[in-house]
Amino acid sequence: MKLNLNPAPHVHSRQDTRWLMGNVLIALLPCCVAGVVYFGVPALMLMAVSMASAVLFEALWQKLCGRKLLIADGSAAVTGLILALNLPPRAPWWLAVMGSAFAVVIVKGLFGGLGDNFINPAMAARALLLASWPKFMTAWTAPSGLDAVTSATPLMTPAAWTPLELFLGRIPGCIGETCKLAILAGLAWLLITRTIKWHIPVAMMASLCLFSWIFGKDPVAAALSGGALFGAAFMATDYVTCPVHPAAQMIYAAGAGLVAAVIRSYAGYPEGVTYGILLMNAAAPLLDKCFRRRVYGHGREAAK
Amino acid sequence: MTMLKTFRGGVHPLHGDHEGKAQTRGEPTRAIEPKTVTLLMGMHLGAPSEPCVKAGDRVKLGQVVGTPVGFLGLPVHASVSGEVLSVGPVQSVSAPNALAVTIKNDFRDEWAELPAPLGSVEDCPADQIVPAIRAAGICGMGGAAFPTHVKLAVKEGQFCDTIILNGAECETHLTCDHRLMLENSDRVVDGLRAAMRALNVPRGVIAIEDNKPDAIEAMRRAAEGRAGVEVAALHTKYPQGGEKQLIQVVTGREVPSGKLPLDVHVIVMNVGTAAAVAEAVIDGKPLISRITTVTGHVDRPSNLRVRVGTPVRELLEACGGISLPEDRVGKVVMGGAMTGFPCPGLEVPVAKANNGIVVYDAKEARETEETPCIRCGRCVDACPMGLNPYLLKHLCDAGDMARAQKECVMDCIVCGSCSYICPAHRHLTQTFKAMKDAIAAEAKKGKG
């Protein structure tokens, strides 16, 4: 009888990386459905192209590096889908391919692959596309399948929509970010399955509302317009690029909300969520260092 | 006194499966008689004992066959009467050549002449309790096997105001302490009282996880009317029975890094150890048997009262044998799933601190492959010590001893919570254990 001698612990939680990524994909499903309902088949095409190319580029990159193929962990699929949901509904298909390649190869692969990238790949790709092809990235279409009629986003004309319209998402915007109801459903799934904790989404939205109000804007409209809620639920919470300690997470998220509010109020871009999150991504390691949990038996007087 | 409900961090292994305890917690303890026993000279933490018998000798039950060596030393007693077959190296759970005395059982159980018992706990001379504990060869029976007389050695300037009996049994699969508390509650309380009397300690707390309501009830009944003895029900969470966590929960105190429980005036003992102390004090009997849980893939999962030194094979046979075809047996683990040691063979003998034997099938035992860390922070949330396992792993993998020490790797209690929870199956705990060993070896080299 040959006995296995691998050391303790001898049991493991069943919640592996694939399970976590699967939960994120499930949580994104309501946003996908809302996107297709509001923006039609082109939105679906973009999602498919973006996801497929992200997985393909990941596979190619891992092959090229002579590494073990890990596309089954689902992380590339999540990156591709989140990127697509951050694109305008009528963005050309090659934009999704460019974005996926940049996200998976440049932002993630070159820094060491999953877990070693310091900024969120999908966010960084969105920032790149916005800077390189602003025309395509700000070509907003009104929902209900109208053909590329360029319209303003609610961020430019906040009074044009009622809070209910903003909440249900029958407004121009990126595919996945308009329907707040769908985002909240996904967020609820992530929280119920304990895939993520509440700290980041709550702190980011609270901070965004607070600072928008301080800067003289309607906090409800600020929360319900643009990519704020989508970013707080699905992008700021990216494990790899957010801090791990709860206190650090709250500061990180509050910082992202603040930067977004400042950009929306005072900068040239109408939307600042992307840059808010990217900036705080870079600060995450420092925050983890400064706001970590106290180690048992350290830094406190022993009992009397 | 503050009473925290629980500690921060921790995990719930096998929670949906009653922590793996359902099969054996209702099984009354039954005694088995081994054909041979192999008494390891190094069953306790400390220098191995010196064998004082030779092959061919006849020994009686309870006779000393190994004499203590050094301050941490303990005597080893014959756990059966019979003929000494050999004195020499055998395979133990952790070493291929551990010195041992093997005795063939003549099934007569003829007792050797024992030291006179000290009598009842109330009347015995307090200063003779600790020497009696040493003479009985008692070490911690919860797993670490620390010699009990050393634990109870309070130096000048130190004092102890609380003794905690660890009946948490937070490890998976094990129910031996649970059964002991149900079947021998009075002995457990007597052992606690003997230790309290020896050190003049006013307070004794028997701490039990709330997944054992019947044991809590039984111990409360046994503690009734016993001055200073109380029972504390604890939240069921691993590692609730970790020494430092237990102290934190029961007393609200934290053991400072690098210090001992006694530095916060607490001593923690396993309930099984307390029962052995009671035997030694009241009956003058040495530690020659213990309860061991045998479960997992065996025909009849059981709690067995086994003689120290019984080979694992005999324990499995007493439970109807392994219930798997040979090619599907994965591993046999001595202890629970979170900290147990994999057994290299079935001839390995049970030592004083072996609380369980669990058989895993090949699927359960298969090695998990490490995938990249996604920094999800679950290890940070799970660590009961407040460490950063994900970061420590990077430092350990890079061989950075200095920074690993700065990140408090030496405070790791090797509980396994981080490895259990890690979605990337990173081999965290084993890496930290190796790093701790390396740092300890380095420190020793520096001194020597």
Q: What is the pLDDT of residues A223-235, one digit of tens each?
A: 998 899 999 999 9
The answer to whether residue A227 sits within a structural domain is: yes
CA distances in angstroms from B212 to B184, B236, B436, listed in the order given: 15, 9, 34
Q: Which residues contact B196 (CB under 8 A, 6 or more apart)?
A: B163, B202, B203, B204, B228, B229
What parts of chain B have a pLDDT lower than 50?
Answer: 1-3
Query: Which parts of chain A have pLDDT scores under 50?
Result: 145-148, 302-304
DSSP single-letter state for residue A195: S
SS3 at position B146? coil
CA A70 vs. chain centroid, Å, equals: 21
What structural domains does chain B harbor? 34-105 (2.40.50), 116-283 (3.40.50.11540), 288-365 (3.10.20.600), 378-447 (no CATH)
Task: Flag whether A212 is in a domain.
Answer: yes
Residues in CB range of A300: below 8 A, 6 or more apart: A294, B254
CA proximity to A200, closest of A120, A88, A106 = A120
Q: Are B176 and B291 in contact (CB under 8 A)?
A: yes
Please report which helix (H) or strand (E) contains residue B204, including its range: strand B203-209
Reported ipTM = 0.92
A104 CA to centre of own chain? 15
The partner residue sitting opposite B423, judged by closest CB among A11, A17, A297, is A17
Instruction: Flag whether A6 is in a domain.
Output: no
| A109 CB burial (10 A radius; 0-12, 13-18, 19+) | buried
Give the structural domain span for A209. 17-290
SS3 A285: helix
Q: In Å, how far are A130, B90, B104, B390, B416 from B97, measured between CA atoms?
A: 68, 5, 20, 36, 27
Buried b (16+ CB within 10 A) or exposed e, B334-372: bbbbbbbbbbbebebbbbbbbbbbbbbbeebbeeeeebb
Sign of the dihedral through C-alpha B258, A247, A251, A87: positive
B262 close to B252: Cβ distance less than 8 angstroms: no
Closest CA to A202 of A221, A188, A214, A216: A188
Q: Are B338 and A70 a contacting pair at CB < 8 A?
A: no
Measured between beta carbons, the chain B residues lying within 8 angstroms of A115 are: 372-375, 424
| DSSP letters for B373-435 | -----HHHHH-TT---HHHHHHHHHTT-HHHHHHTTGGG-----HHHHH-TT---HHHHHHHH
- Name residue B274's beta-bridge partners: none
| CB of A275 closer than 8 Å to CB of A252 | no
The DSSP 8-state label assigned to residue B136 in this structure reads: T
Number of domains in chain A: 1
Chain A interface with B: residues with Cβ < 8 Å: 1, 3-13, 15-17, 19-20, 70, 73, 75, 113-116, 239-240, 243-245, 288, 292-298, 300, 302-303
Q: Which residues of B touch A19 (CB under 8 A)?
A: 423
Question: Contact B205/B165 with Cβ under 8 angstroms?
Answer: yes
At a CB cut-off of 8 Å and minimum separation 6, what does A74 contact?
A17, A18, A21, A22, A24, A25
With CB atoms and an 8 Å threshold, state whether A12 touches B419. yes
Interface contact A294-B386, CB threshold 8 A: yes
Residue A3 belongs to some domain of the structure: no
**Residue A302 placed within a domain:** no
CB A85 within 8 A of CB A50: no
Name the minimum distance, in Å, from the CA of A220 to any CA of chain B: 31
Q: Is residue A295 part of a domain?
A: no
Nearest Cβ partner for B374 among A17, A245, A298: A17
Structural tokens at position B255: 């053991």
Q: Which helix (H) or strand (E) holds B85?
A: strand B82-90
Q: What is the pLDDT of residue A304?
A: 42
Supply the DSSP symbol for A136: H
pLDDT of residue B174: 97
- Determine which of A2, A5, A11 to mutate to test the interface with B (most B C-beta atoms within 10 Å): A11
| Residue whose tokens read 């990180």 | A252
Q: Tell me what pLDDT residue A144 has.
A: 59
| Chain A residue numbers touching B367 (CB-CB < 8 A) | 4, 6
Longest dimension (CA), chain A: 76
* Residue ranges with strand state E in A128-212: 140-141, 150-151
Rounded CA-CA distance B375/B379 in Å is 9
For residue A209, being part of any structural domain is answered with yes
Q: How far is CA B343 from CA A210, B23, B103, B240, in A?
A: 60, 21, 22, 25
Burial label for A55, CB within 10 Å (0-12, 13-18, 19+), is buried
CB A76 within 8 A of CB A62: no
Domain of A84, CATH number, reads 1.10.3430
- Residue B341: CA count within 13 A, CB half-sphere: 16
pLDDT tens profile B314-344: 999 999 999 999 999 999 999 999 999 999 9
End-to-end alpha carbon distance in chain B: 44
